[in-house]
Amino acid sequence: MSEFVFKLPDLGEGTVESEIGEWLINVGDTVKEEDVIGTMMTDKAAIELSSPVSGTVIKLAGEPGDVVAVGAPLVVFDTDSAAVPKTAKQSPEPAAIQPDNSPAPEPTVAATVAETPDESAEPARVITSPAIRRRAKEAGVDLTLVPGSGPGGRIMRSDFDLYLKARATGAAISVGASPATGVKEIKIIGVRRVIAERMAAAKREIPHFAYVEEIDITELEALRKHLNADRGAAERLTLLPFLGLALVKALKEFPQCNVTHDKARNVLLQHEAVHLGVATQTPDGLKVPVVRHAEVRSLDDLAADIRRMTLAARDNKAKKSELAGSTITITSLGKLGGIASTPVINSPEVAIIGVNRAVERPVVFNGQVAVRLMMNLSSSFDHRFVDGYDAAAMIQRIKEMLEHPATIFLPG
Protein backbone atom coordinates (compact mmCIF):
# COMPACT_ATOMS: atom_id res chain seq x y z
CA MET A 1 0.00 0.00 0.00
CA SER A 2 1.31 3.46 -0.91
CA GLU A 3 -0.18 6.17 1.26
CA PHE A 4 -0.48 9.78 0.19
CA VAL A 5 -1.18 12.31 2.95
CA PHE A 6 -3.09 15.36 1.75
CA LYS A 7 -2.41 18.23 4.15
CA LEU A 8 -4.66 21.27 4.61
CA PRO A 9 -3.28 23.94 2.25
CA ASP A 10 -2.97 27.65 2.99
CA LEU A 11 -6.41 29.08 2.21
CA GLY A 12 -5.11 32.65 2.00
CA GLU A 13 -5.60 35.90 3.95
CA GLY A 14 -3.46 34.72 6.85
CA THR A 15 -5.64 31.72 7.72
CA VAL A 16 -3.82 29.43 10.18
CA GLU A 17 -6.66 26.96 10.74
CA SER A 18 -10.02 26.10 9.22
CA GLU A 19 -13.18 24.26 10.21
CA ILE A 20 -14.34 21.19 8.33
CA GLY A 21 -17.61 22.21 6.69
CA GLU A 22 -18.69 19.03 4.89
CA TRP A 23 -17.17 15.81 3.61
CA LEU A 24 -18.26 14.70 0.15
CA ILE A 25 -16.33 11.44 0.58
CA ASN A 26 -16.27 8.56 3.05
CA VAL A 27 -13.54 6.14 4.11
CA GLY A 28 -13.41 3.45 1.43
CA ASP A 29 -14.51 5.73 -1.43
CA THR A 30 -12.45 5.75 -4.62
CA VAL A 31 -11.83 9.24 -5.98
CA LYS A 32 -10.12 10.65 -9.02
CA GLU A 33 -7.68 13.53 -9.15
CA GLU A 34 -9.54 16.88 -9.15
CA ASP A 35 -12.73 15.39 -7.62
CA VAL A 36 -14.25 17.74 -5.02
CA ILE A 37 -13.79 15.98 -1.67
CA GLY A 38 -15.22 18.50 0.79
CA THR A 39 -15.43 22.06 2.04
CA MET A 40 -13.48 23.99 4.66
CA MET A 41 -15.02 26.97 6.43
CA THR A 42 -13.31 30.30 6.99
CA ASP A 43 -14.97 33.24 8.77
CA LYS A 44 -17.15 34.11 5.79
CA ALA A 45 -16.66 31.54 3.07
CA ALA A 46 -16.82 27.84 2.29
CA ILE A 47 -13.74 26.73 0.36
CA GLU A 48 -14.09 23.68 -1.88
CA LEU A 49 -11.10 21.33 -1.89
CA SER A 50 -10.25 18.98 -4.74
CA SER A 51 -8.31 15.75 -4.45
CA PRO A 52 -4.66 16.14 -5.54
CA VAL A 53 -4.38 12.43 -6.47
CA SER A 54 -6.45 9.42 -7.47
CA GLY A 55 -6.91 6.69 -4.90
CA THR A 56 -9.00 5.21 -2.10
CA VAL A 57 -9.79 7.18 1.04
CA ILE A 58 -8.40 5.38 4.08
CA LYS A 59 -8.56 8.14 6.72
CA LEU A 60 -10.27 11.50 7.30
CA ALA A 61 -9.03 14.16 9.72
CA GLY A 62 -12.31 14.54 11.60
CA GLU A 63 -16.00 15.36 11.38
CA PRO A 64 -17.78 18.54 10.21
CA GLY A 65 -17.19 21.20 12.84
CA ASP A 66 -13.70 20.01 13.77
CA VAL A 67 -10.89 22.55 13.33
CA VAL A 68 -7.75 21.59 11.41
CA ALA A 69 -4.51 23.59 11.34
CA VAL A 70 -2.94 24.57 8.02
CA GLY A 71 -0.32 21.95 7.17
CA ALA A 72 -1.97 19.24 9.28
CA PRO A 73 -3.07 15.93 7.67
CA LEU A 74 -6.56 16.21 6.20
CA VAL A 75 -7.08 13.06 4.09
CA VAL A 76 -4.99 9.93 3.66
CA PHE A 77 -5.28 8.11 0.30
CA ASP A 78 -4.16 4.66 -0.80
CA THR A 79 -2.87 5.48 -4.27
CA ASP A 80 -2.16 1.82 -5.19
CA SER A 81 -5.90 1.15 -5.30
CA ALA A 82 -6.75 4.06 -7.61
CA ALA A 83 -9.36 2.96 -10.09
CA VAL A 84 -11.70 4.62 -12.51
CA PRO A 85 -15.40 3.86 -11.90
CA LYS A 86 -16.90 1.75 -14.70
CA THR A 87 -19.52 4.38 -15.46
CA ALA A 88 -16.98 7.16 -15.81
CA LYS A 89 -15.04 8.09 -18.91
CA GLN A 90 -11.41 7.07 -19.01
CA SER A 91 -9.26 9.79 -17.45
CA PRO A 92 -5.54 10.44 -17.71
CA GLU A 93 -3.19 8.35 -15.60
CA PRO A 94 -3.07 9.52 -11.95
CA ALA A 95 -0.09 11.51 -10.77
CA ALA A 96 2.96 9.56 -9.64
CA ILE A 97 2.92 8.57 -5.96
CA GLN A 98 5.12 10.77 -3.86
CA PRO A 99 6.83 9.81 -0.59
CA ASP A 100 5.25 11.11 2.57
CA ASN A 101 8.07 13.59 3.09
CA SER A 102 7.62 15.24 -0.30
CA PRO A 103 5.48 18.37 -0.71
CA ALA A 104 1.87 17.73 -1.66
CA PRO A 105 0.72 18.84 -5.12
CA GLU A 106 -1.14 22.09 -5.15
CA PRO A 107 -4.89 21.36 -4.80
CA THR A 108 -7.52 23.06 -6.85
CA VAL A 109 -9.20 25.49 -4.46
CA ALA A 110 -12.41 27.22 -5.52
CA ALA A 111 -13.61 29.92 -3.13
CA THR A 112 -17.28 30.72 -2.81
CA VAL A 113 -19.38 32.26 -0.11
CA ALA A 114 -21.13 29.18 1.26
CA GLU A 115 -22.21 27.96 -2.26
CA THR A 116 -22.47 29.22 -5.81
CA PRO A 117 -25.64 27.62 -7.17
CA ASP A 118 -25.34 25.58 -10.36
CA GLU A 119 -26.77 27.45 -13.33
CA SER A 120 -28.66 24.31 -14.33
CA ALA A 121 -30.09 23.76 -10.84
CA GLU A 122 -33.78 23.62 -10.18
CA PRO A 123 -35.66 26.96 -9.87
CA ALA A 124 -36.31 26.50 -6.13
CA ARG A 125 -33.31 27.55 -4.09
CA VAL A 126 -31.55 24.57 -2.53
CA ILE A 127 -28.42 24.71 -0.40
CA THR A 128 -26.05 21.84 -1.14
CA SER A 129 -22.73 21.05 -2.79
CA PRO A 130 -21.96 20.87 -6.53
CA ALA A 131 -21.15 17.16 -6.13
CA ILE A 132 -24.63 16.39 -4.77
CA ARG A 133 -26.19 18.51 -7.52
CA ARG A 134 -24.35 16.39 -10.09
CA ARG A 135 -25.49 13.14 -8.42
CA ALA A 136 -29.07 14.43 -8.29
CA LYS A 137 -29.00 15.30 -11.98
CA GLU A 138 -27.65 11.87 -12.88
CA ALA A 139 -30.26 10.12 -10.70
CA GLY A 140 -33.13 12.34 -11.83
CA VAL A 141 -33.79 13.59 -8.29
CA ASP A 142 -35.59 16.86 -7.58
CA LEU A 143 -33.50 18.31 -4.73
CA THR A 144 -36.45 20.36 -3.45
CA LEU A 145 -37.91 17.03 -2.26
CA VAL A 146 -34.82 16.07 -0.25
CA PRO A 147 -34.95 17.11 3.44
CA GLY A 148 -31.70 18.73 4.53
CA SER A 149 -30.27 18.38 8.04
CA GLY A 150 -27.37 20.81 7.63
CA PRO A 151 -27.19 24.50 8.61
CA GLY A 152 -30.02 26.46 7.01
CA GLY A 153 -31.54 23.25 5.59
CA ARG A 154 -28.38 22.38 3.65
CA ILE A 155 -28.59 18.94 2.02
CA MET A 156 -25.69 16.85 3.27
CA ARG A 157 -24.31 13.71 1.60
CA SER A 158 -26.00 11.54 4.24
CA ASP A 159 -29.35 13.26 3.52
CA PHE A 160 -29.08 12.50 -0.19
CA ASP A 161 -28.04 8.87 0.39
CA LEU A 162 -30.96 8.42 2.79
CA TYR A 163 -33.37 9.87 0.22
CA LEU A 164 -32.10 7.51 -2.51
CA LYS A 165 -32.47 4.54 -0.18
CA ALA A 166 -35.98 5.57 0.86
CA ARG A 167 -37.03 6.13 -2.74
CA ALA A 168 -35.75 2.72 -3.75
CA THR A 169 -37.53 0.90 -0.91
CA GLY A 170 -40.65 3.04 -0.72
CA ALA A 171 -39.94 3.82 2.94
CA ALA A 172 -40.91 7.11 4.57
CA ILE A 173 -38.11 9.68 4.67
CA SER A 174 -36.94 10.80 8.10
CA VAL A 175 -33.98 13.06 8.70
CA GLY A 176 -31.93 13.35 11.85
CA ALA A 177 -34.55 12.69 14.57
CA SER A 178 -34.26 9.92 17.13
CA PRO A 179 -37.37 7.70 17.06
CA ALA A 180 -37.18 7.28 20.82
CA THR A 181 -36.87 10.89 21.94
CA GLY A 182 -37.73 13.03 18.92
CA VAL A 183 -34.56 15.07 19.52
CA LYS A 184 -32.32 16.09 16.65
CA GLU A 185 -28.74 17.13 17.37
CA ILE A 186 -27.61 20.14 15.33
CA LYS A 187 -23.89 20.73 15.43
CA ILE A 188 -22.94 24.40 15.64
CA ILE A 189 -20.60 24.78 12.70
CA GLY A 190 -19.72 27.15 9.88
CA VAL A 191 -21.31 30.58 9.71
CA ARG A 192 -23.61 29.81 12.66
CA ARG A 193 -20.60 29.09 14.88
CA VAL A 194 -18.89 32.32 13.83
CA ILE A 195 -22.08 34.29 14.51
CA ALA A 196 -22.41 32.72 17.96
CA GLU A 197 -18.80 33.49 18.87
CA ARG A 198 -18.96 37.09 17.65
CA MET A 199 -22.29 37.85 19.31
CA ALA A 200 -21.08 36.40 22.61
CA ALA A 201 -17.83 38.38 22.40
CA ALA A 202 -19.70 41.61 21.54
CA LYS A 203 -22.04 41.32 24.53
CA ARG A 204 -19.25 40.19 26.84
CA GLU A 205 -16.71 42.86 25.90
CA ILE A 206 -18.81 45.86 24.84
CA PRO A 207 -20.90 47.84 27.37
CA HIS A 208 -23.97 48.52 25.25
CA PHE A 209 -25.83 51.81 25.65
CA ALA A 210 -29.31 51.39 24.16
CA TYR A 211 -31.42 54.30 22.96
CA VAL A 212 -34.91 54.12 21.40
CA GLU A 213 -36.58 57.08 19.70
CA GLU A 214 -40.10 57.39 18.25
CA ILE A 215 -40.31 58.92 14.78
CA ASP A 216 -43.26 60.19 12.75
CA ILE A 217 -42.54 58.94 9.23
CA THR A 218 -45.86 59.98 7.67
CA GLU A 219 -44.22 62.51 5.33
CA LEU A 220 -41.35 60.18 4.54
CA GLU A 221 -43.75 57.39 3.60
CA ALA A 222 -45.70 59.77 1.37
CA LEU A 223 -42.46 60.73 -0.42
CA ARG A 224 -41.44 57.08 -0.75
CA LYS A 225 -44.78 56.12 -2.30
CA HIS A 226 -44.62 59.08 -4.67
CA LEU A 227 -41.14 58.13 -5.87
CA ASN A 228 -42.21 54.49 -6.28
CA ALA A 229 -45.27 55.30 -8.37
CA ASP A 230 -43.49 54.87 -11.71
CA ARG A 231 -40.97 52.22 -10.66
CA GLY A 232 -40.98 48.51 -11.28
CA ALA A 233 -41.12 46.12 -8.36
CA ALA A 234 -37.37 45.46 -8.53
CA GLU A 235 -36.52 49.18 -8.25
CA ARG A 236 -38.93 50.27 -5.53
CA LEU A 237 -37.43 52.17 -2.62
CA THR A 238 -37.60 50.90 0.95
CA LEU A 239 -37.01 53.01 4.05
CA LEU A 240 -33.40 51.81 4.35
CA PRO A 241 -31.79 54.07 1.70
CA PHE A 242 -33.51 57.14 3.23
CA LEU A 243 -32.21 56.11 6.64
CA GLY A 244 -28.78 55.50 5.12
CA LEU A 245 -28.61 59.01 3.66
CA ALA A 246 -29.81 60.55 6.92
CA LEU A 247 -27.23 58.53 8.85
CA VAL A 248 -24.43 59.62 6.52
CA LYS A 249 -25.40 63.26 7.02
CA ALA A 250 -25.66 62.87 10.81
CA LEU A 251 -22.22 61.25 10.99
CA LYS A 252 -20.66 64.45 9.65
CA GLU A 253 -21.81 66.09 12.88
CA PHE A 254 -21.03 63.05 15.06
CA PRO A 255 -17.88 61.50 13.57
CA GLN A 256 -17.17 59.73 16.87
CA CYS A 257 -19.89 57.23 15.88
CA ASN A 258 -18.26 56.31 12.55
CA VAL A 259 -15.44 54.54 14.34
CA THR A 260 -13.94 51.08 14.60
CA HIS A 261 -11.99 49.84 17.61
CA ASP A 262 -8.60 48.25 16.99
CA LYS A 263 -8.49 46.07 20.10
CA ALA A 264 -4.98 44.76 19.47
CA ARG A 265 -3.46 48.26 19.41
CA ASN A 266 -6.06 49.82 21.73
CA VAL A 267 -6.80 52.67 19.33
CA LEU A 268 -9.92 54.07 17.72
CA LEU A 269 -9.99 54.49 13.94
CA GLN A 270 -12.24 57.39 12.97
CA HIS A 271 -13.27 57.00 9.33
CA GLU A 272 -14.01 59.74 6.83
CA ALA A 273 -15.71 57.26 4.51
CA VAL A 274 -18.97 55.62 5.55
CA HIS A 275 -18.93 51.92 4.73
CA LEU A 276 -22.49 50.97 5.57
CA GLY A 277 -23.14 47.47 6.87
CA VAL A 278 -26.65 46.15 6.20
CA ALA A 279 -27.52 43.27 8.53
CA THR A 280 -29.25 40.61 6.42
CA GLN A 281 -30.97 37.41 7.47
CA THR A 282 -29.97 34.45 5.28
CA PRO A 283 -30.58 30.68 5.41
CA ASP A 284 -27.06 30.36 6.85
CA GLY A 285 -27.62 32.98 9.55
CA LEU A 286 -27.09 36.71 9.90
CA LYS A 287 -24.62 38.28 7.46
CA VAL A 288 -23.57 41.91 7.07
CA PRO A 289 -22.84 42.84 3.44
CA VAL A 290 -21.16 46.22 3.08
CA VAL A 291 -22.16 49.16 0.87
CA ARG A 292 -18.92 51.06 0.45
CA HIS A 293 -18.65 54.84 0.34
CA ALA A 294 -22.27 55.53 1.18
CA GLU A 295 -21.23 59.15 1.75
CA VAL A 296 -20.96 59.83 -2.00
CA ARG A 297 -24.04 57.95 -3.18
CA SER A 298 -27.37 59.26 -4.38
CA LEU A 299 -30.66 57.84 -3.11
CA ASP A 300 -31.11 55.56 -6.13
CA ASP A 301 -27.47 54.48 -6.12
CA LEU A 302 -27.58 53.63 -2.42
CA ALA A 303 -30.89 51.79 -2.81
CA ALA A 304 -29.57 49.76 -5.76
CA ASP A 305 -26.42 48.72 -3.90
CA ILE A 306 -28.38 47.75 -0.79
CA ARG A 307 -30.60 45.53 -2.96
CA ARG A 308 -27.62 44.03 -4.77
CA MET A 309 -25.60 43.30 -1.65
CA THR A 310 -28.44 41.86 0.43
CA LEU A 311 -29.53 39.63 -2.46
CA ALA A 312 -25.96 38.39 -2.94
CA ALA A 313 -25.73 37.60 0.79
CA ARG A 314 -29.02 35.67 0.77
CA ASP A 315 -28.02 33.73 -2.37
CA ASN A 316 -24.54 32.99 -0.99
CA LYS A 317 -22.93 34.87 -3.88
CA ALA A 318 -21.34 37.68 -1.88
CA LYS A 319 -17.55 37.68 -1.92
CA LYS A 320 -15.69 37.50 1.37
CA SER A 321 -14.39 41.04 0.83
CA GLU A 322 -18.01 42.24 0.50
CA LEU A 323 -18.87 40.91 3.96
CA ALA A 324 -16.20 42.81 5.88
CA GLY A 325 -14.98 46.35 6.48
CA SER A 326 -18.15 48.16 7.55
CA THR A 327 -17.79 51.22 9.80
CA ILE A 328 -21.41 51.38 11.05
CA THR A 329 -24.38 49.04 10.58
CA ILE A 330 -28.11 49.38 10.10
CA THR A 331 -30.47 46.48 10.71
CA SER A 332 -34.15 45.89 10.10
CA LEU A 333 -36.55 43.05 10.83
CA GLY A 334 -39.07 44.44 8.36
CA LYS A 335 -42.67 43.55 9.23
CA LEU A 336 -41.38 41.52 12.20
CA GLY A 337 -39.64 44.60 13.60
CA GLY A 338 -41.74 44.83 16.75
CA ILE A 339 -42.04 47.92 18.93
CA ALA A 340 -38.41 48.08 20.01
CA SER A 341 -35.26 45.98 19.94
CA THR A 342 -31.74 45.99 21.37
CA PRO A 343 -29.43 45.34 18.38
CA VAL A 344 -26.02 43.89 19.16
CA ILE A 345 -23.09 45.99 17.96
CA ASN A 346 -21.22 44.56 14.98
CA SER A 347 -17.72 44.60 16.48
CA PRO A 348 -15.29 46.32 15.89
CA GLU A 349 -17.81 49.09 15.16
CA VAL A 350 -19.15 51.28 17.96
CA ALA A 351 -22.75 51.85 16.82
CA ILE A 352 -25.69 50.09 15.18
CA ILE A 353 -29.10 51.51 14.16
CA GLY A 354 -32.17 49.24 14.14
CA VAL A 355 -35.44 49.86 12.30
CA ASN A 356 -38.67 48.70 13.94
CA ARG A 357 -42.12 48.16 12.48
CA ALA A 358 -44.07 51.21 11.28
CA VAL A 359 -47.72 51.36 12.45
CA GLU A 360 -50.52 53.89 12.15
CA ARG A 361 -51.85 55.16 15.45
CA PRO A 362 -53.49 58.27 16.91
CA VAL A 363 -51.08 60.96 18.13
CA VAL A 364 -51.27 64.64 18.91
CA PHE A 365 -50.14 66.51 15.79
CA ASN A 366 -50.27 70.32 15.55
CA GLY A 367 -52.54 70.42 18.58
CA GLN A 368 -55.02 67.91 17.13
CA VAL A 369 -55.42 64.15 17.46
CA ALA A 370 -54.52 62.62 14.10
CA VAL A 371 -53.62 59.23 12.69
CA ARG A 372 -49.91 59.21 11.87
CA LEU A 373 -47.45 56.54 10.73
CA MET A 374 -45.08 56.00 13.65
CA MET A 375 -41.87 54.00 13.83
CA ASN A 376 -39.18 53.48 16.44
CA LEU A 377 -35.44 53.55 15.85
CA SER A 378 -33.61 51.25 18.26
CA SER A 379 -29.90 51.93 18.53
CA SER A 380 -26.96 50.59 20.49
CA PHE A 381 -23.63 52.31 21.15
CA ASP A 382 -20.33 51.24 22.66
CA HIS A 383 -20.49 53.24 25.89
CA ARG A 384 -16.70 53.07 26.30
CA PHE A 385 -16.24 55.38 23.33
CA VAL A 386 -19.60 57.07 22.69
CA ASP A 387 -21.16 59.18 25.44
CA GLY A 388 -24.88 58.79 26.02
CA TYR A 389 -25.50 62.46 25.24
CA ASP A 390 -23.78 62.21 21.84
CA ALA A 391 -25.63 58.97 21.03
CA ALA A 392 -29.00 60.53 21.82
CA ALA A 393 -28.15 63.73 19.94
CA MET A 394 -27.20 61.80 16.80
CA ILE A 395 -30.46 59.81 16.83
CA GLN A 396 -32.38 63.06 17.38
CA ARG A 397 -30.66 64.52 14.32
CA ILE A 398 -31.68 61.48 12.26
CA LYS A 399 -35.24 61.81 13.63
CA GLU A 400 -35.38 65.44 12.50
CA MET A 401 -34.34 64.55 8.95
CA LEU A 402 -36.69 61.57 8.62
CA GLU A 403 -39.64 63.61 9.89
CA HIS A 404 -38.80 66.40 7.40
CA PRO A 405 -37.41 64.30 4.51
CA ALA A 406 -36.59 67.26 2.27
CA THR A 407 -33.75 68.12 4.66
CA ILE A 408 -32.07 64.81 3.85
CA PHE A 409 -31.29 66.15 0.38
CA LEU A 410 -30.21 69.68 1.33
CA PRO A 411 -26.48 70.43 1.02
CA GLY A 412 -24.35 71.03 4.09
Is 118 catalytic? The answer is no
With vertex at residue 389, the alpha carbon angle to CA 385 and CA 393, rounded to the nearest 5 degrees, is 110
Q: Of the residues 66, 161, 262, 387, which is catalytic?
A: 387
Half-sphere exposure of residue 335: CA atoms within 13 angstroms, side-chain side: 0
Using alpha carbons, select from 74, 70, 65, 94 the residue that is nearest to residue 156.
Answer: 65
- Residue 383 annotated as catalytic: yes
Cα–Cα dist 308/266, whole Å? 35
Give strand pairing partners of 209. Answer: 381
Distance from C-alpha of 390 to C-alpha of 18, rounded to nearest angstrom: 41
Distance CA 110, CA 193 (A): 22
Candidates 216, 383, 390, 404; catalytic one: 383
Report yes or no: 150 and 22 within 8 Å, Cβ to Cβ. yes
Alpha-carbon torsion 247, 348, 340, 383, what sign?
A: negative
Tell me the catalytic residues: 383, 387
